[in-house]
Chains A and B, each alone.
Chain A
Amino acid sequence: MNKTKALGLTAAVVGGAVLVRRATAAAALPVPAPLPPPVSRDRTVRTEDGVELSVHEHGEKDSASATVVLAHGYVQSSRLWNGQVRDLVDARPDLRVVTYDHRGHGRSGRTERHRATIQQLGRDLARVVEAVAPTGPVVVGGHSMGGMTVMALAEEHPELFAERIVGAAFVGTSAGELADVTYGLPAPVAKAVKALMPRLNEAAVKAEAKGKARKVGAGDAWMTFPRGADKALVREVLDVHRDCSAETVAAFLPTFSDHDRRTALAALAHVPTVVVVGDRDVLCPLPHSRALADALPTSELTVFPGVGHMVHLERRAEVSRILLSLVDRATTGAPRSLATAPG
């Protein structure tokens, strides 16, 4: 084939592709532009061991009718709650919505290894609640490790759930038995992967010390999203993963195998709760949310078929709505603390 012919052919193929793209684009919905991050008031909260936590407050500043505190997952950051923050503040400007980065994550300070535990995260959450909402009703919510953090808070401070915390949301999370999770793989394969992970993590820590960035890619996407998920969301989550240090990844991994807080859930028996999960979640699979819902008599369980671990991203509007209705349920019971709130 001569050069002109090849060029012509290429042009035709490209042209055809453009036409096909146009045709499909006409039938599809316009892709919404990425939304700006919500306007936030940033501050830091010091933990008992001196770690500076990066905390973001949104919405009503001084006379909020209630405060919602949202905790993110492992290897992630508060940024992944932005969709809910925006929706909640839009729908209820009277709310104060707070997100924060766990120790070692996002813009928060580093943690010592032995403090990289879910138990410690629970204590940190207690500090955050105390700092951002010294009075008024509080609704806490957590995704994945963030949900486990809420359970740790219930374990450490059950009394809070009678006095201060009037509702809790568990999004794509688990109360225990994570050792049995196979990531949707055949059990022996999963076992091998799990055995390999700590070693890979330590290798990444060493590499990072030498200035080599941690590799984030297909594996992370595969773990967090089902096939065919919205590419923009996958990119967003991988960006956040990239910001997480190899040290943090390695430091927090062991805490999951120790996580078993089913008995701690008793503290939550008298506050309204919601449990939300995607049925394609391979990290905290559906049965874990079912078990959670079974243990929480006041919980409402919502399952989103076809959705993976990042249910609050893949089903942004619906998860926001569920949080809003939880706030409604939690605050209409006129808890003591609300009686002093204005309005």
Chain B
Amino acid sequence: MTDLPDHVRVAVIGSGFSGIGTAVRLAQAGEHDVVVLERAGSVGGTWRDNTYPGCACDVPSHLYSFSFAPNPDWSRAFSRQPEIRAYLERVCDDFGVRSQLHLDTELLAGTWDDAAALWRLETSRGPLTADLLVSGCGGLVEPAYPDLPGLETFAGPVFHSARWDHDVDLAGKRIAVIGTGASAIQFVPELQPEADRLVLFQRTPPWVLPRMDREYGQKQKDLFREHPALQRVARTGQYWFREWNLLAFTGKGGLRRKAEQEARKHLERQVPDPELRERLTPDYAIGCKRVLISNDYYPAVSQDNVDVVTSGIAEVRPHAVVDADGVEHEVDVIVLGTGFRVMDIPVAHRLTGREGRTLSEEWQQTGAAAHRGTTVAGFPNLFLLLGPNTALGHSSVVFMIEAQIAYVVKALEALEEYDARALEVRREAQDAYDAQLQAQLETTVWNSGGCRSWYRDEDGRNFTLWPTHTYTFKRQLSRFDAEAYALRTPARVQEPV
């Protein structure tokens, strides 16, 4: 692998959709002085790390891909993880960004040097400096491990779904699965047939809608390949259907009630046992937590070898998990489907801004916030892709990522136009943006649906979701709002001592 350069115009952290997309778009905009720092040995981000059985995307693949890299070969409407990961690998090759990729290079620390107006980066493969820093880290990075008494005393294997241990043979085993979120709902149906017993610990039941998945035949793939316009039509259709669906989350409730009805019918059809059905029925409005889609989850948990435990977990013993009712469930393996530390992403601890505070310290004071989901006061020349309030409950985050990348490109142009070295969003502008966003979120089901979710922090402030249509976000970010910023050129010489 090539050595790290001493200095680059743009350093990108991470090589998932955000990192790869940024490298491609910067190159297309004529900026080639770019490195992508990747801590792992290959690209793909969350689509590389999550290899659990059944891992797939909940957004249709034609929509969940780059606008500049359509893929006529998606095998199904909702593609599985290996295919998405291969897609990202292919984009790296097709768009020639592999030479900018530095694998096994973990960002350890980044500090803004205000006098020199650049980021000083420490990586596992040495230091470098960068004018601009783009974080492609996102929120679904670091597994969240539950704080269960006695978990460390468990004698068998314990692993998180995002760090799946493929060496553990699960056939004929008694498996405890903790959590019933988006990951668990995908791997439980895969584990159930081979497990001797599967004990599923559920804190809150998710709302589950039918998964309208289907395979694309060769004919259809050929059609997409020969007529890219047809594929764009398919993508556009998926896009607008999802924007219409947004009303279930933000609207008055009509569409929401219809969705709840559909989910209830789905549950009734698939779970005949009324007692189990009761336990699987959510007591909050649909959409408040992430809506899941599955056709095989309910049938799987209805099988005789599955127990759904809802009382909570009291402790873990060497060979068992004890529920809050005191019942001891003997198991051989524990699989954690407990999601991610969305609130506490590692990169926030590693970046230190102009005032000597880390991003994490900054956000402890203000709550996680960023202007247009991208820039943070006190952190010049830093861009957070999939930063605060850019996640979606209804559509593809790749769309959001591309809007943010366009904003980064415009910001670079603004720096050149003003012949400046640093740009920093004004706190006032960032606060005004956040206040408007929070006001908009107040009436949505995410905030008022009567649930606890990873969308909101301890204070109930929604720091993850974009409150409205994705085209609004794209329109806002299509122009660099320079008036929200200060543009700075540092002193050419530091004053003599």
Tell me whether A303 and B493 are in contact (CB under 8 A): no
Segment touching B, from A175-183, A208-216, A294-302:
A294-302
How far is the CB of B436 from the nearest CB of chain A, in Å? 6
Tell me whether A329 and B488 are in contact (CB under 8 A): no
B483: A residues at CB distance < 8 A: 304-307
| A60 CB–B CB distance under 8 Å | no
| B491 CB–A CB distance under 8 Å | yes
Tell me whether A300 and B489 are in contact (CB under 8 A): yes
Segment touching A, from B174-182, B203-211, B231-239, B426-434:
B426-434
Tell me whether B436 and A303 are in contact (CB under 8 A): no
How far is the CB of A22 from the nearest CB of chain B, in Å? 13
| B40 CB–A CB distance under 8 Å | no
How far is the CB of A26 from the nearest CB of chain B, in Å? 7
A298: B residues at CB distance < 8 A: 491-495
How far is the CB of B192 from the nearest CB of chain A, in Å? 49
Closest A residue to B435 by beta carbon equals A29
A26: B residues at CB distance < 8 A: 439
Tell me whether A318 and B495 are in contact (CB under 8 A): no
**A29-B432 contact given A271-B495, A297-B492, A303-B420, CB 8 Å threshold:** yes
Number of interface residues of A (CB under 8 A): 28
B414: A residues at CB distance < 8 A: 305
Select B496's contact among A270, A315, A317, beta carbons within 8 Å: A270
| A293 CB–B CB distance under 8 Å | yes
Tell me whether A318 and B426 are in contact (CB under 8 A): yes
Closest A residue to B114 by beta carbon equals A325
Distance in angstroms between the alpha carbons of A303 and B418 in the assembled complex: 8
| B490 CB–A CB distance under 8 Å | yes
How far is the CB of B302 from the nearest CB of chain A, in Å? 47
Tell me whether A305 and B494 are in contact (CB under 8 A): no
How far is the CB of B375 from the nearest CB of chain A, in Å? 14
B187: A residues at CB distance < 8 A: none
Tell me whether B491 and A297 are in contact (CB under 8 A): yes
Distance in angstroms between the alpha carbons of A307 and B493 in the assembled complex: 28
Distance in angstroms between the alpha carbons of A16 and B495 in the assembled complex: 60
Distance in angstroms between the alpha carbons of A298 and B491 in the assembled complex: 5
Select B426's contact among A315, A329, A334, beta carbons within 8 Å: A315
Select A270's contact among B418, B435, B489, B495, beta carbons within 8 Å: B495
How far is the CB of A268 from the nearest CB of chain B, in Å? 11
Q: Which residues of A contact B (CB under 8 A)?
A: 26-29, 270-273, 279, 290, 293, 297-307, 315, 317-318, 329, 333-334
- Closest 9 A/B residue pairs (Cβ): A306-B483, A305-B482, A301-B489, A303-B487, A297-B493, A272-B495, A302-B488, A298-B491, A298-B495
Instruction: Give me 22 A-to-B residue pairs in the complex whose CB atoms sit less than 8 angstroms apart, sorted by A's number.
Output: A26-B439, A27-B439, A28-B436, A29-B431, A270-B496, A272-B495, A293-B489, A298-B491, A298-B494, A299-B491, A302-B486, A302-B488, A302-B489, A303-B420, A303-B488, A304-B483, A305-B418, A305-B482, A305-B487, A317-B427, A317-B428, A329-B495
